[in-house]
A and B are shown apart, each in its own frame.
Chain A
């Protein structure tokens, strides 16, 4: 594979670059982006606001009219999707990903075997948005008038509004595929800079308009849903055009960035200068810096770089009371409760994050993937626990259970050479026959090491030595790399499932080490039992993986999907099962959320999660900062 990295200095660099291009995927490199690195003033400050926005867009992923490149009723880019071709083989379209244009021979059997799905039974999604199904906008005329005078671009076209009325919860996408449109924002505005936001918020306060900040739109907590009880005009504040890196400070290794920038652009632009943030949530292609701050995001390489709360040095947020920010960029302060922590995780209820100073690091010299096969999940968890105890976790370490291992296997693209498939066969033989691993119990951990070459190799040895103590066998770089690549295409797979009566979703939690195994077992079993009780005709897919390790615990991800043929209200069933699964998580000592946030989907559990007083504290902050509930998305509380 391309990342075979035994070579010289330049080879190493190439590997690193290659990987980044895998992750951030695919985009043509923009020819000129120096301009972006200048500390440019807001263009909207000038008298001619709406001009020259096109050159800002250059090299940026997200246009104002998102629907031009992205699906309006599914995940990701319009040109990338899974489908079954005429021969009945699964294929991934487009050119953006490594999997693009490839045949995935095992997927059909896996889908049929796992879900009892059938290629004959297909459900078509509504192909185009029926704009007449969208309620006409309810505009606050005075607000619109004054907004016009500021020159900040806005729209009340149906397509724009619908696009910003949802995240990617199953029920949201399912409704869109069905052509069902609920309450949507009445208007979308695209501020170009901090000052634009200040103006918009002022006007919203003045005219009592409800504002819902919108970043990347990748929420899975119903955070973007418009509260149906909202009677005011709802304005979606799309930060996507605030996407510049305002400055880079190489002395302090920080960058000052506008909050609307999406992850892949941020990484790519920093890479140009030889830096990275190292913050790579699975949604990084589309999710935005401001969104990360507002939801307390976590990146897969947090072991080296930290989670978003460790990465931010300074935050600027516009609230109905004014702008909140700290007066300096000291690395740590003892000045009462950290006001950043009112902002981090506020989920758009207090204001709009506009600018963030974030830590940056030089691009790592060397990167290496790896994987380890364990005889069973218990051994795998024990190994991860030991790695955490010794505080030697690689940049990323993830442990998939057996079902997910099989799933990953089904997603192997067609191999071109007989030699590779022969090698695969040999490996399989070695592991199952020679080492005696039960193919129905074994599980695999994927690893990513980063840093100076010497250190990476040393580190790698240390981790593999620990793994060996728990019966782990090194299983090659390919498996590891494929595991991480799949992270980015897995969301596309749900759309394929929905074409064939399969619905599903993932959800996460964090849990102390001693409960990891128990929570995994119980939640998976609960899902299976609930599906059965709720009349699901086919056994569901109920699987999990441990995706992050901490000193005191781990982050666990559950994936759950089922074939809904024969159910009259599949989404309701789905929601009941997910609800039960969350109850089970809480009963087993898991948290309400590790990084997805609370939104409206999980807010019923906030009180028991943070106690009455805790809710009261949060409420009083909300009451002070936003007494008229201008930021009225009703998340969290």
Chain B
């Protein structure tokens, strides 16, 4: 079957997964102090020219690129080059890390203590570590961990230290700098700080990119950054940010190094430290500014059990192999390489595509705990209006069914097979007892306030429910990447009356396009995704796919129903956003007013029962919906003048999108790709 072949070598990054080893186990048995003080001699890059942090700065300040831009800025602004030079020095000073081993040792000691109290285990795939060790010697390495928690980068350095690997330098957001002592300590453990936005500041950009490139090219240390740009509050992978990836690809594309190895790292937490915090943030309770005292207040979390962490170092991806046959590197032959140029469209597409592949491979290697499946089931149950909760036995049966399904779909599921499913379920429920309530053999989300209800307005009550639902959703979200393609197909089949393959594909493409800000869907891969979805659903005996037709088998309805309902909250959320824009958007709705406006609108409809999914209150979903509408041109953002940021709604188009989403309108014109 053709689609099979497509699927099997769909993605070279997909490989059989390695086994894990718990690195805390040794920490529990031997001295942390000795561990923190042990001899540390990592293998280094073979082409390394050793240099100190201050030599590094000099190299940056004297680089051709920077000198060129300084001259350019000087000409444009009329400022003397000396002045700009010292400005560049100041930027670098503010940015640069001061990696020192003593700080790492300090962290190694304290983190050992903290990790042991917080987590049951920290599991790492040692084969991945070995691959990484090899790679670090051969090529400059870029580490790309997923980003779900503040813990991520300390954890990464901790693991690399544990395995005697070269410590990375880490691109961190400037907001950490607010925490005085901690900021400096992070700096000394290898973090360098970048401003969140520096739009048109050429000088800043050049200092920054040269700094990163020089560290990378010289093999000074592995460079680490988060492709997603920020912590995902929803536990779904975020659409990758391209800035830093562009920078690290550049030396390879311009031939300054032979190759660069990109190592996706998937960090999965059984329980996220920031769980409730994220939910509140998504509901509009503003995020507390990072401060040292705040961090100490967070210490009450120390008394809780956060289960285990799995860290999977993926197969290193060579930039060279990504670019093979895709990028014509000779395009850089005709201008001096130190003159900054906007990357060509081809390069942008290439970097974007690579970013999606890398994020996708992070997703693939995320370990999923049984609880993730339970969360998905409980949420569906709750949305179905089941007030009593579900019988534990039923939940167990459903969980086992879903376990088998997700395994067929290739999920990296850590379900302990040697333990009876009922015990797996009950222990998962107990770890997450803040989110679920078990009483009289029935399980449901812990939506009722435990204490005698204080006087709450219905709105407050709804929001407190929503905190639990969104927390729960953040677990369910972890499994979405496994099902998303099949879910899009299921929804497409659901929305199309007949069984004609082309029509289903059109509906699939429409949905896929609609939700491509919501999920990781590689641009331009419609056909591939469609075939993959078909392949999976045929494999699990849900569909029969013929030349012209797609037929649902008798056994397939349960799976299809599950898949459709997993996507349903998003479909409904997007529909309601459309409705909001058509009904409520006044002439002068600005981008800033959008989220509060939608929220109010949603709360109103939730309270009146016009809307069943509480999770649509997530500002993430709302923003993604807006981004999609902007991308599709249904909404326009005005620029400049007094109207800056005002949203101009194309009511007709938004309306028809809403109807198409609701299945009231057939997918209009077939999208670009055809089967």
A353 within 8 A of B: no
Tell me which residues across on chain A come within 8 A of B256, comparing CB atoms.
Answer: 518
Q: Are A587 and B329 in contact (CB-based, < 8 A)?
A: yes
Contact call A514/B336, Cβ cutoff below 8 A = yes
A131 to B337: give the CA distance in the assembly, Å.
56
Tell me if A608 is interfacial: C-beta within 8 Å of chain B: yes
In contact, A525 and B258 (Cβ under 8 angstroms): yes
CB of B258 within 8 A of CB of A589, answer: no
- Cβ of A256 under 8 Å from chain B: no
In the assembled complex, how far is the CB of residue B338 from the closest CB belonging to chain A, in whole angstroms?
Answer: 8
Q: Is the CB of A515 within 8 A of B255?
A: yes
Complex partner residue of A608 from B258, B259, B330, B337, CB under 8 angstroms: B330
State A587–B319 Cα separation when bound (angstroms).
Answer: 14
CB-based contact B333/A589 at 8 Å: yes
By a CB distance below 8 angstroms, the chain B residues around A521 are 258
Q: Is B150 part of the binding interface, using a Cβ–Cβ cutoff of 8 Å?
A: no
B332 interfacial contact with A, CB 8 Å: yes
A193 within 8 A of B: no
Q: A587-B330, A588-B329, A589-B330 are in contact. Are A514 and B258 (CB under 8 A)?
A: no
Contacting pair B255 A586 (CB below 8 A): no
Taking CB atoms and an 8 Å cut-off, the chain A residues in 512-531 that contact chain B are: 514-515, 518-519, 521-522, 525-526
Given the contacts A514-B336, A514-B337, A586 and B258 also touching, CB distance less than 8 Å: no
Q: Which residues of B contact A522 (CB under 8 A)?
A: 255, 258
Q: Which of B255, B259, B328, B336 contacts A588 (CB 8 A)?
A: B255
- Closest CB in chain B relative to A602 CB, distance in Å: 15
| Interface mask (B237-259 → A, CB under 8 Å = 1, otherwise 0) | 00000000000000000011011
**Once the chains are docked, how many angstroms separate the CA of A105 from the CA of B483?**
68
Output the residue of B258, B328, B336, B337 with the most chain A CB within 10 A.
B258
Residue of B nearest to A518 (CB): B255
Please classify how large the interface on chain B is, using the bins under 10, 10 to 19, 20 to 34, 35 or more. 10 to 19
Interface residues of B in 332-347 (CB under 8 A from A): 332-333, 336-337
Q: Which residues of B contact A586 (CB under 8 A)?
A: 330
- Bound-state CA distance A608–B330 (Å) is 10
Chain A 199-225 near chain B by CB (<8 Å), digits 1 or 0 = 000000000000000000000000000
- B432 CB to closest chain A CB (Å) equals 48
Output the least CB separation between B133 and chain A (Å).
19
Report yes or no: B255 in contact with A519, Cβ–Cβ below 8 A: yes
A587 vs B328: C-alpha distance when bound (angstroms): 7
Q: How far is the CB of B534 from chain A (nearest CB, A)?
A: 33
Give the distance to chain B from A511, nearest Cβ to Cβ, in Å. Answer: 10
- Residues of B near A515 (CB, < 8 A) are 255
Measured CA separation A529–B431 after assembly (Å): 49
Contact B336 A526 (CB under 8 A): no
On chain A, the residues within 8 Å of B258 by CB distance are 521-522, 525-526
Interface members, chain B 162-193 (any A CB < 8 Å):
none
Q: Which residues of A contact B255 (CB under 8 A)?
A: 515, 518-519, 522, 587-589
**What is the distance, in angstroms, from A590's C-beta to the closest C-beta of chain B?**
9
**Would you give the 0/1 interface string for A554-590, flagging 1 where the beta carbon is closer than 8 Å to chain B?**
0000000000000000000000000000000011110
Bound-state Cα–Cα, A45 to B328, Å: 56
Q: How far is the CA of A455 from the CA of B31 in the complex (A)?
A: 73
Bound CA–CA A586/B333 (angstroms): 9
Min C-beta distance of A15 to chain B, whole Å: 42
Please report the C-alpha to C-alpha distance between residue A376 and residue B333 in the assembled complex, in whole angstroms: 26
Counting chain A residues whose Cβ lies within 8 A of the other chain, the interface size class is: 10 to 19
- Residues from chain A with a CB closer than 8 A to the CB of B333 are 589
B contact residues around A519 at 8 Å (CB): 255
CA A586 – CA B258 in complex, angstroms?
14
- Which residues of chain A come closer than 8 Å to B329, judged between CB atoms? 587-588
Contact indicator A589/B332 (Cβ below 8 Å)? yes
0/1 interface trace, chain B 254-288, chain A, CB 8 Å (1 if under): 01101100000000000000000000000000000
The distance in angstroms between the C-alpha atoms of A94 and B349, with both chains bound, is: 61
- The smallest beta-carbon distance between B48 and chain A, in angstroms, is 13
Expressed in whole angstroms, the Cα–Cα distance for A526 and B258 within the complex equals 8
What is the CB-to-nearest-CB distance from A101 to chain B, in angstroms, rounded to a whole number? 42
Chain A residue contacts of B337, Cβ below 8 A: 514
CB of B141 to closest CB in A, whole Å: 16
Q: Which residue of A lies closest to B333 (CB)?
A: A589
Complex Cα distance, B350 from A447, in Å, reads 45
CA distance A589 to B333 in the complex (A): 5
User: Which residues of B are found within 8 Å of A526, using beta-carbon distances?
Assistant: 258
How far is A588 from B258 in the complex, measured between Cα atoms in Å? 10
- Cα A100 to Cα B337 in complex, Å, equals 48
CA distance A525 to B140 in the complex (A): 14
**Considering the chains assembled together, what is the distance between the CA atoms of A298 and B328 in angstroms?**
30
CB distance from B395 to the nearest CB of A (A): 51
By a CB distance below 8 angstroms, the chain A residues around B336 are 514
Residues of B within 8 A of A514 (CB): 336-337
- Closest B residue to A515 by beta carbon equals B255
State how many angstroms separate the Cβ of A381 from the closest Cβ of chain B: 14
Q: When chains A and B are docked, how far (Å) is the Cα of A525 from the Cα of B139?
A: 11
Query: Which residues of B300-345 are within 8 A (CB) of A?
Result: 328-330, 332-333, 336-337
CA distance in complex: A608, B329 (Å): 13
Q: Which residue of B lies closest to A522 (CB)?
A: B258
**Bound: A586/B256 CA distance, A:** 14
Specify the chain B residue showing the minimal Cβ separation from A590: B333
Closest to B47 in A: A521
A589 / chain B contacts, CB cutoff of 8 Å:
255, 330, 332-333
Most buried by A among B255, B259, B329, B337: B255
Q: How far is the CA of A518 from the CA of B251 in the complex (A)?
A: 10
Closest Cβ–Cβ distance, residue A205 to chain B (whole Å): 40
Considering the chains assembled together, what is the distance between the CA atoms of A522 and B252 in angstroms?
Answer: 10
Type the 1/0 row for A473-516, where 1 means its CB is closer than 8 Å to any CB of B.
00000000000000000000000000000000000000000110
* Chain B neighbourhood of A518, CB < 8 A: 255-256
Residues in B neighbouring A587, C-beta threshold 8 A: 255, 328-330
List the A residue with the shortest CB-CB distance to B337: A514
Q: In A581-621, which residues have CB < 8 Å from any B CB?
A: 586-589, 608
Residues of A within 8 A of B330 (CB): 586-587, 589, 608
Taking the closest CB of chain A, its distance from the CB of B253, in whole angstroms, is 9
Q: How far is the CA of A522 from the CA of B329 in the complex (A)?
A: 13
A559 CA / B293 CA spacing, docked (Å)? 63
Bits for B479-509, please: 1 = Cβ < 8 Å to A, else 0: 0000000000000000000000000000000
A420 to chain B, nearest CB (A): 36
| A521 vs B140: C-alpha distance when bound (angstroms) | 14
Chain A nearest CB: distance from B256 CB in Å? 6
Q: Which residues of A contact B259 (CB under 8 A)?
A: 525
Tell me, rounded to whole Å, the shortest Cβ–Cβ distance linking B320 to chain A: 9
Q: Which residue of B lies closest to A525 (CB)?
A: B258
A441 → chain B closest CB, angstroms: 11
Query: What CA separation (Å) do A587 and B336 show in the bound complex?
Result: 14
Measured in the bound complex, the distance between the Cα atoms of B255 and A586 in whole Å is 11
Which residues of the partner chain A approach B332 to less than 8 Å between Cβ atoms?
589
Q: Which residue of B lies closest to A609 (CB)?
A: B330
Min distance, Cβ B218 to any Cβ of chain A, angstroms: 12
A522 to B257, CA, bound (A): 7
Complexed CA–CA distance, A518 and B258 (Å): 8
Instruction: Kindly report which residue of chain A lies nearest to residue B336, judged by CB atoms.
Output: A514
Flag B431-464 by CB within 8 Å of A: 1 or 0 each: 0000000000000000000000000000000000
How many angstroms from the CA of A71 to the CA of B123 in the assembled complex? 67
Q: Which partner residue on chain B sits nearest A591 by CB separation?
A: B333
Given contacts A525-B258, A608-B330, 4 further A-B contacts (CB under 8 A): A515-B255, A519-B255, A588-B255, A589-B332
Q: List 22 A-B contacts (CB under 8 A).
A: A514-B336, A514-B337, A515-B255, A518-B255, A518-B256, A519-B255, A521-B258, A522-B255, A522-B258, A525-B259, A526-B258, A586-B330, A587-B255, A587-B328, A587-B329, A587-B330, A588-B329, A589-B255, A589-B330, A589-B332, A589-B333, A608-B330
Q: B-contacting residues of A (Cβ < 8 Å)? A: 514-515, 518-519, 521-522, 525-526, 586-589, 608
Which B residues contact A (CB, under 8 angstroms)? 255-256, 258-259, 328-330, 332-333, 336-337
Q: Which 4 A-B pairs have the closest CB atoms?
A: A587-B329, A525-B258, A588-B255, A589-B333
